[in-house]
Amino acid sequence: MSVIIFTEIDNGALKKSSLEAVYYGAEVAKMKGTTATVLAIGEASEAELAKAGNFGATKVLHANDARLATGNIQAYADVLASAVTQENAEVVILAKSSLGDAVAARVAGKLKAAIVSNVTELPDLSGGFKVTRSIYTGKAFATVEMKSDKKIIAIKKNAVSVVESGASAGVEVFTPALKDADFAVKVTGTHKASSTISLPEADIVVSAGRGLKGPENWGIVEDLANALGAATACSKPVSDLDWRPHHEHVGQTGIKVSPNLYIACGISGAIQHLAGVNSSKVIVVINKDPEAPFFKAADYGIVGDVFDILPRLTKAVKAL
């Protein structure tokens, strides 16, 4: 009855969010007196995959069929379900993502497993298997008991504080049978921004709203983000106006983020915006209106003009 962690590979390395899931899975395995196995699909070196051991995994199953290169959801779900069967796993852990959610849902369908998403803490196993999840886009939490034999848990960023052990995991090649039907969906093109830091993965997010006045002014936002090693985000009207791409839009109807630090520049703090960012650890608000509602949700605030403040903050960060 082991624990399996579904991970994602990006540019030959396990994604940061996946490593957090590995640590979470290893902690669950410890509680259950069993071991944690990682499933990694795609191209990566053995040395890179062995690093999962540093996060508590004992073994990595590596599936690297050329047909799996495009992130085909049905094929990935079949691979994960085979791994669950082979390892006789009771619990499947993954980090929430556009691929992970889709794969996990199909595997839940195959295994008749309860699936709980947006889990924010380690489970409580003292009476049944209970998890805490965020609901109403971060406005509340629910404690949920999972009753099925197999359980699937999709964790939210910062669900655990990772402690690295320095250990290394054994890597095994994994070659489950794939069906042609798994490849009925064809990915005909991929358009990815060349920007370095992915928004849902980022520890620091610099976000800007309509207060920036126009897309030509985003340089001061990007400069601060670059200095901090942060991802950039925006409010909904900014992406609706095409000032910024849609995948940067955060909030109730956009990406939900829970970074360590969220810096909001020229954003009023409408309830729908707050819903997507309220689980950030620390929130900084910069707004010229002292009455802006965002200050009520902030830890640090500056009443001021973004065009004055942002370049000064960038300079101060560079001076650190």
Partner 1 sequence: MKILVCVTSVPDTTAKISFTDGDTKFNKAGVTYITGPYDDYALSRAVELKEKLGGTVTVLNVGESDSEQVIRKCLAIGADDAIRVNCEPKDSYFTAVQIATIAAQENYDLILMGRESIDFNSGVVHGLVGEMLGIPSLSPVMKLEIEGTTAKMTREIEGGKEDIEASLPLVLGCQEPIAEWKIPNMRGIMTARTKPLRVVEPVGDDLTITEKFTLPAPKGACKMIPAENAEELIALLKNEAKVL
Ligand X SMILES: Cc1cc2nc3c(=O)[nH]c(=O)nc-3n(C[C@@H](O)[C@H](O)[C@H](O)COP(=O)(O)OP(=O)(O)OC[C@H]3O[C@@H](n4cnc5c(N)ncnc54)[C@H](O)[C@@H]3O)c2cc1C
Residues 6-65 that bind partner 1 (CB under 8 A): none
Provide the residue type at 308 as one letter: D
Minimum distance between the CB of residue 52 and partner 1, rounded to whole angstroms? 20
189 near partner 1, rule: CB under 8 A: yes
Choosing from 209, 231, 280, 298, the residue that interacts with ligand X (CB under 6 A) is 209
Which residues contact residue 159 at a Cβ distance below 8 angstroms, ignoring those fewer than 6 apart?
20, 24, 119, 120, 121, 122
Minimum distance between the CB of residue 118 and ligand X, rounded to whole angstroms? 9
Total of residues contacting ligand X (CB under 6 A): 25
Q: Which stretch binds partner 1 (CB under 8 A): 19-27, 41-49, 83-91, 187-195?
A: 187-195
Q: Strand 2-10 to strand 13-14: parallel, antiparallel, or no bridges (unpaired)?
A: antiparallel
Minimum distance between the CB of residue 219 and partner 1, rounded to whole angstroms? 18
Q: In this complex, which beta carbon is closest to partner 1, that of residue 113 or of residue 169? A: 113
> b/e string for 229-267 if b means 16 or more Cβ within 10 A?
ebbbbbbbebbeeebbeeebbbbbebbbbbbebbbbbbb
Q: What is the DSSP letter of 249?
A: B
- Structural contact between residues 104 and 131, judged by C-beta atoms closer than 8 angstroms: no
Provide the residue type at 262 as one letter: Y
Choosing from 292, 297, 302, 313, the residue that interacts with ligand X (CB under 6 A) is 292
Q: In this complex, which beta carbon is closest to partner 1, that of residue 166 or of residue 290? A: 290
Quick one: which H or E segment has residue 232? strand 231-234
CB atoms within 10 A of CB 191: 5
Q: Which stretch binds partner 1 (CB under 8 A): 22-30, 37-45, 72-80, 157-165?
A: 72-80
3-state secondary structure of 262: strand
278 near partner 1, rule: CB under 8 A: yes
77 near partner 1, rule: CB under 8 A: yes
From the list partner 1, ligand X, none, partner contacted by residue 47 (C-beta under 5 to 8 A by kind): none
Site for ligand X in 232-261 (CB under 6 A): 235-238, 251-254
Q: In this complex, which beta carbon is closest to ligand X, that of residue 46 or of residue 289? A: 289
279 near ligand X, rule: CB under 6 A: no
Site for partner 1 in 279-308 (CB under 8 A): 281-282, 284-285, 295-305, 308
Q: Cα angle at 11 between 21 and 18, to 5 degrees?
A: 0
Q: In this complex, which beta carbon is closest to partner 1, that of residue 7 or of residue 117? A: 117
Choosing from 35, 247, 293, 307, the residue that interacts with partner 1 (CB under 8 A) is 247
56 near ligand X, rule: CB under 6 A: no
User: How far apart, in whole angstroms, are the C-alpha atoms of residue 282 and residue 320?
Assistant: 19
CB atoms within 10 A of CB 221: 24
202 near ligand X, rule: CB under 6 A: no
88 near partner 1, rule: CB under 8 A: no
Cβ-in-10-Å burial (0-12, 13-18, 19+) of 311 comes to middle
Q: What is the Cα Rg of the chain in Å?
A: 21
From the list partner 1, ligand X, none, partner contacted by residue 267 (C-beta under 5 to 8 A by kind): ligand X
Quick one: which H or E segment has residue 211? none
Choosing from 59, 62, 256, 273, the residue that interacts with ligand X (CB under 6 A) is 273
- The residue ranges that bind ligand X (CB under 6 A) are 209-211, 235-238, 251-254, 266-268, 270, 272-273, 276, 287-289, 292, 305-307
